Amino acid sequence: MLPDVIETERLLLRPFEPDDARALFGWFSLPEVARWSGTGEPMRDVEEAEARIARMPERRGTHPAAAILAVCPDASAPPVGMVMLVPIPASAGVERGGGVGDWEVGWHLHPRSWGRGYATEAASALLERATSAGLPHVVAVTHPDNAPSQAVCRRLGMTDLGLRDDWYDRMLRAFVLPLPAVGTRAPHQ
């Protein structure tokens, strides 16, 4: 069984709680964060954040590797972002992964936390989780203009696949990281 809570060198990654709605709203209400996610529209009220937290178990699914976690600088601090390892929906008419499907690693952080390496550190922990679960590879998709997230993908060792419309019925810059079989990978740096 994979843990629900992950501790990295500097971060605590834990499941979201209903009380985290205000923090989640705090970053997804900002245009500079929302522009890279979903519709690109900022959240308008905290109820949207509450609804998003309530939908997280459904989005995550039941696979033991799946996770949507709050990124906290320490156990007493509110979340400054989120990181996820989830099944990624293929675009209409696209068959991916030989029927197994693809897995996405992703992140969203409050701008006050940008440039500190939190996205790379949190995503690295989820790549270890994906490897432990025996997933064959992980993808990341970014808005074509999101150079900072693309830099994170490169720091994670992911290969740039260029612009693709394989997922989310949108043209996105995609990255992939093949994962070795369990027991053959050195710890991720």
pLDDT tens digits along 146-185: 999 999 999 999 999 999 999 999 999 999 999 987 754 4
Residue 149 and residue 142 in contact, taking contact as beta carbons nearer than 8 Å = yes
The chain-wide mean pLDDT, for the chain, equals 91
**Ranges of each domain in the chain:** 6-178
- State in words which class domain 6-178 has: alpha beta
- The pTM score is 0.90
Q: Is 113 left (phi over 0), alpha (psi -120 to 50) or beta?
A: alpha
C-alpha to C-alpha distance for 34 and 11, rounded to whole angstroms: 23
Terminal CA-to-CA distance of the chain, rounded, Å?
23
